[in-house]
Structure 1
Amino acid sequence: MINLKKLYAFALNPWVVIASLAAGFLLGMYMPALGLRLGFVGDVYVDLLKMIALPFMVSAVIFSLQRLFREGGAGGLMARVAIVFAVFSVVVALLGALTLLVMKPGENLSTETMQTFGRIVGNDLNSSDTIMSLQGVDAPVKSVNFTEVLVSLVPSNIFAALANGDTLKALVFALLFGFAVGQVPSRVSDGLTQSLETIYHSCQTLMRWLNYPLPIILFCMSAAQMAKTGLGPLQAMAQFVLAFFVASMLALVIATLIIWKRSNSTFGQTLDALRGPFALALATRSSATCMPIMIESLADRLGFARSRVELMVPLSVSLLRIGPVIYYVAATVFVAQLYGKPLGITELAVVLSASILAGFASAGMTGLLTVSLVGLTCSYLGLPFEAAFILFLAVDPICDMLRTLVLVIGNNAAVSLICPRPLKI
């Protein structure tokens, strides 16, 4: 008989994850036709996860808020949330800027690398069927002001928001509805609470089932991605990818240390608890789909208060966008270095502020839309992002993995600071 616990642990083992990715990249490199045919496996898997994510988030937030109001202390908790979210956003933005300023990936590039940049950009500009041509060259630099962001938060139709996968609008509805339900007498609201809790636990169970085939999914997804892009774009943007990788690893180390210190667990127990979120973030590149396993790692594995964790994880995933923030800072500084624009204290302050705003605006976005918001930060410095857009798009599958990892593990760290420390395990 198959031991499901051992199978689950094997599927989420970091070495198995890395081996699956490496094997997929090799297949996509040497057998691209087969790699492309395997792409549908990843598409189906991610769609299944997205199917679960929104019902899970809405049910978790509403009944967690209701429970929070009954227990008391909501005002103090929200103040702590605001402070932690602000500090985390500023710290990761500074980390990204310092890493790029020290490593200087956009300066002193070789002639061969610059020629590769020119070929990639030239091919894109001369093509009639690229994503950039379909969207129009002005799309990446479209500015986003605070009023537009504020208006975009409010769902005029919650069912349309759910159908379209608008995570941020669904979260606003869940928060407002949860606050209202918290004021309703328990004898009236208990039936709704039990129904929502049933949905919540059912989504968690579905998510756990979908983790079992993870190594196969990773193999297929990485093979398809390598078959599509090849090594050319990665080689041309290697220095930027390396710098962003270093900044992301520093953020992950800091986040892991925070979780370790806050959890009162051993370092080994902390790493073991983070295996699931780490593997799923790599596999799906979707922070929303990682929410159930993030809650499981903090509440079940590390002992944080479930009532707080169930509320804070969806809230942080939607509002604390530290993965995109560090990416936008790194990308903007890289473009500035590429075009030889010096960055003083004022310019850096503008980059940090614009990147935090762009990170907030990126909630619910993936791929092309996430990359396009680099144009928002570049526009404040007068940098031409149109030509560089296709370069970032070419290596975005790798950057997207790092963004999601930083967001998932970093948000777990933020939640561990917000929630009361658990007793020693």
Structure 2
Amino acid sequence: MQRFQQWALNPWTVLGCVLAGGLLGWSAPPLARHLGVVGVVYVDLLKMIVLPFMISAVIFSLQNLYRDGGAARIFKRVVVVFIGFSLIVAVLATLCSVLVRPGGNLPAETRAALGKIISADGDSSNTEMAMRGAEPSPHHTDLKDVLQSLIPQNIFASLANGETLKALVFALLFGFAAGQVPTRISGGLHQALETIYHACQTLTRWVNLPVPFVLVCMAASQVAQTGLQPIASMAGFVILFLLVSGMLMALAMALISRRAGVPFGTVMAAMREPFALGVATNNSATCMPAMVSGLVEQLQFARARVELLVPLSISLLRVGAMAYFVCSTLFIAALYGRPMSVPDLGLLVLVSVLSGFASAGMAGVVTVSLVGTICSYLTLPFEAAFILLMAVDPICAMARTAVTVIGSCAAVASICAAPVKL
């Protein structure tokens, strides 16, 4: 069973299954469209495990931190590392995009293909417009909206709705409070949370067994729905983002290697399962058990720190989304021939970092739509480009998730003390 899991989560196996699924979707679209339900069920099973795992891990780890001491000191490092990582990722993505300039100097046939995608109506229907009606007043986000999006009024409703950030806030506050309770009283809760935590890890291993089959089904369904033309027309942008993502993951694993004091190959083996899950599910939260397992069991970082920091980094440090926002905005600027000055690039970095933090808990079309917010700051048109970005988002979402997962592991390794070698 262990050998099968290693084979199933090998990056080459993942890549082969994605290519096989794409070939199936291209050659037999009617059959492939029906396979999408497999991916939906698989992701739902993983989401089922996420919230119990996160809450038990955070509260359990905070109790351990209070027993060991140093809870305040570690959160100072969290703030420094999270801000530093975000700025570095945004700057590197900006430099790569400025050098490559995807979207600029496109051949005439490529621009014609992009124009067809923009003007296509998938439903072959007319757009309905209301001639009269009250226009809603524009909504401006203020401090009250931010706080309400973080604080759960009813934790059970937040759990039922899958509101990860609200559940995380509750777990942090409850964990701080539980850390103040004497050990003789909180011992039962401590054992119960540890049981839930290990049970969730076991469930995750079981659910991950059919990953190769799931990947084939998901890739086939996606290609059958969108075809290969959007990917071919947006090849420059997709290749750039994949290269930037690969560079960021390589830098993150090099940092983990240095912090852990182990060879780069050992880090790659430890990150194999989180990477494969990120590519397979496009959901970074479902990778948390695998991230904890890799950092603790294979790289020997302290379990109490890792179990606290992994959910925190996955929920807040969205480095994959930050890199995507930068690359997408500069692609749109090049597509429309808009020159970007140094102040424009500085504003882009800042707004992309803030939008990355704001994207916590978002995925798919909602994440792509945040590019429009960044474009508005730079006076760039976004409506037509939105359709282009959505056409290739399934591929970009895989890279976004993988960067977020590996980058979060690097952040956790930077915050934790280096493992003691025996």
TM-score (norm 2): 0.95
Decide whether the 8 Å contact of 1:328 with 1:355 is kept in 2. Answer: yes
Partner of 2:53: 56
CA shift at 1:163, angstroms? 1.2
Could you tell me which amino acid in structure 1 is paired with residue 48 of structure 2?
A: M
Tell me: CA distance 1:124–1:153, structure 2 relative to 1, closer, same or farther (3 Å).
farther
CA shift at 1:11, angstroms? 1.2
Tell me: CA distance 1:44–1:129, structure 2 relative to 1, closer, same or farther (3 Å).
farther
Q: 1:199 aligns with which of 196, 213, 220?
A: 196
- 2:99 corresponds to 1:105: no
CA shift at 1:263, angstroms? 1.1
Range with bigger deviation, 341-350 or 386-395: 341-350
1:24-423 correspondence to structure 2 within 5 Å: 24-124=21-121, 128=125, 148-423=145-420
Could you tell me which amino acid in structure 2 is paired with residue 22 of structure 1?
A: L
Taking the aligned partners of 2:220 and 2:27, their CA distance within structure 1 comes to: 10
For the residue of structure 2 that corresponds to 1:212, the secondary structure is coil
Q: 2:4 aligns with which of 3, 7, 21?
A: 7
Taking the aligned partners of 1:146 and 1:336, their CA distance within structure 2 comes to: 31
CA shift at 1:111, angstroms? 1.3
Taking the aligned partners of 1:38 and 1:162, their CA distance within structure 2 comes to: 29
Taking the aligned partners of 1:11 and 1:399, their CA distance within structure 2 comes to: 22
Taking the aligned partners of 2:108 and 2:302, their CA distance within structure 1 comes to: 56
Tell me: CA distance 1:97–1:144, structure 2 relative to 1, closer, same or farther (3 Å).
farther
For the residue of structure 2 that corresponds to 1:155, the secondary structure is coil
Tell me: CA distance 1:128–1:355, structure 2 relative to 1, closer, same or farther (3 Å).
farther
Decide whether the 8 Å contact of 1:124 with 1:390 is kept in 2. Answer: no
Range with bigger deviation, 401-410 or 68-77: 68-77
CA shift at 1:75, angstroms? 1.4
Per-residue CA deviations over 1:147-189 (Å, capped at 9, x if unaligned) read 5334311111211111111111111111111111111111221
Could you tell me which amino acid in structure 1 is paired with residue 227 of structure 2?
A: G
Taking the aligned partners of 1:21 and 1:106, their CA distance within structure 2 comes to: 26
Could you tell me which amino acid in structure 2 is paired with residue 11 of structure 1?
A: A
Decide whether the 8 Å contact of 1:68 with 1:74 is kept in 2. Answer: yes
CA shift at 1:268, angstroms? 2.1
Tell me: CA distance 1:168–1:285, structure 2 relative to 1, closer, same or farther (3 Å).
same
For the residue of structure 1 that corresponds to 2:338, the secondary structure is coil
Tell me: CA distance 1:248–1:129, structure 2 relative to 1, closer, same or farther (3 Å).
farther
Per-residue CA deviations over 1:260-298 (Å, capped at 9, x if unaligned) read 111112222211111111111111110000000000000
CA shift at 1:126, angstroms? 8.8
Per-residue CA deviations over 1:381-410 (Å, capped at 9, x if unaligned) read 111211111111110000000000100011
CA shift at 1:125, angstroms? 9.3
For the residue of structure 1 that corresponds to 2:258, the secondary structure is helix
Taking the aligned partners of 1:333 and 1:355, their CA distance within structure 2 comes to: 11
Range with bigger deviation, 397-406 or 258-267: 258-267
Identical positions, percent: 55
Taking the aligned partners of 2:366 and 2:260, their CA distance within structure 1 comes to: 36
Could you tell me which amino acid in structure 1 is paired with residue 400 of structure 2?
A: R
Tell me: CA distance 1:178–1:37, structure 2 relative to 1, closer, same or farther (3 Å).
same
For the residue of structure 2 that corresponds to 1:215, the secondary structure is helix
Taking the aligned partners of 1:404 and 1:144, their CA distance within structure 2 comes to: 27
Taking the aligned partners of 1:190 and 1:127, their CA distance within structure 2 comes to: 62
